[in-house]
Amino acid sequence: MEIAVQDVAGARDAVAGGADRLELCAALAGTGGLTPSTGMVAAVADALRGSGVGVHVLVRPRAGGFVFAADEVDVQVRDVRAVLDAGADGVVVGAMTADGAVDAAALAAFVAAAGGADVTFHRAIDQVPDPVAVLDVLARAGVRRVLTSGGAPRAGEALDVLAALATRGRELGVEVMAGGGVRLDDVPALVGAGVHAVHLSAKRTVVADGGPGGGGSSGYDVTDPEVVAATRAALDAALAATSDAGAGA
């Protein structure tokens, strides 16, 4: 179970609730996630030291699509190095070409900058028409894992695609993590599809009016420890049921 978090408190709550891995990002609700500050990365890494839970940092310079100009790729290469130097265990990246293919040159630069640390390719993969075939490209590039909804708005709506991705991922040594609108009641079906992990933000909104010029009145999101714990329980139950079914067969 990977939980997307945005701050130190959220990281601690996610770990306490049973997260196996964290994705650290900023501006998750409004943008889908951007690169957090290196100060935040260092603080979360320090807070989790000794926990055994890895911190994987989203590297994405702006909202919008994943077609990046050369200077945007350069910024991401610098950010990959910076967040790893700050204590991250891995990075989450992605880049596409204007014609809808994986940007192999940009990805190669990101993987090289990671210097052997884990690289996850994010949901940019959901923009390609044949994500199963793209796994081969990502595996050759050195990607360790992909985060995907199977091309659907929600991962729970693309179980057949996720199952095919998981099967091919095992053949290639690439982990397939289901993410995108994951709900508690999706967990058994996602486990049944054979994915390696599930990913969710497990968040709730805190009401806080920033006032004029203060960032708006919509409040901000925090990690909800109850959602994390409930998802952990659902995941463990689904895994146990799968194990029992296998033993019975």
Stronger pLDDT, 21 or 242, i.e. the higher one:
21
Mean pLDDT of 11-23: 97
Q: Calculate Rg over the CA atoms of the chain.
A: 18
Amino acid code (one letter) for 162: L
Residue type, 67: V
Bridge partners (DSSP) of residue 58 are 92
Rounded distance between C-alpha atoms, residue 22 and residue 52, angstroms: 11
Q: What are phi and psi of 96, to 5 degrees?
A: -125, 160
170-183: average pLDDT: 97
Residue 226 pLDDT greater than 90, yes or no: yes
pLDDT, tens digit, 9 for 90 and up, residues 52-61: 999 999 999 9
Residue 159 has a pLDDT of 98
pLDDT for 18: 97
The confidence band for 173, taking pLDDT boundaries of 50, 70 and 90, is very high
Backbone angles phi and psi of 22, in degrees to 5: -120, 145
**Secondary structure, 3-state, the chain:** CEEEECCHHHHHHHHHCCCCEEEECECHHHHCCECCCHHHHHHHHHHHCCCCCEEEEECCCCCCCCCCCHHHHHHHHHHHHHHHHCCCCEEEECCECCCCCECHHHHHHHHHHHCCCEEEECHHHHHCCCHHHHHHHHHHHCCCEEEECCCCCCHHHCHHHHHHHHHHHHHHCCEEEEECCCCHHHHHHHHHCCCCEEEECCEEEECCCCCCCCCCCCCEEEECHHHHHHHHHHHHHHHHHHHHHHHHC
The whole-number pLDDT of residue 209 equals 66
Q: With pLDDT > 90 as the criterion, what percentage of the chain qualifies?
A: 88
Judged against a pLDDT cut of 90, whether residue 213 lies above it is answered with no
pLDDT attached to residue 243:
77
Instruction: Supply the pLDDT for residue 248.
Output: 62
Mean per-residue pLDDT of the chain = 94
Q: How far apart are CA 103 and CA 94, in angstroms?
A: 8
Residues 70-97 have a mean pLDDT of 98
Q: What is the pLDDT of residues 123-143, one digit of tens each?
A: 999 999 999 999 999 999 999
**pLDDT of 244:** 75
Query: What's the rounded Cα separation, in Å, for the pair 149 and 126?
Result: 7
pLDDT for 236 beyond 80:
yes
| Mean pLDDT confidence for 86-114 | 97
Rounded to an integer, what distance in angstroms lies between the CA atom of residue 86 and that of residue 64? 26
Predicted local distance difference test score (pLDDT) of residue 242: 84
Report the phi/psi class of residue 90: left, alpha or beta, with left for phi > 0 and alpha for psi in -120 to 50. Answer: beta
Q: Residue 249 pLDDT more than 60?
A: no
- Cα-Cα-Cα-Cα dihedral of 165, 232, 52, 179, to 10°? 30
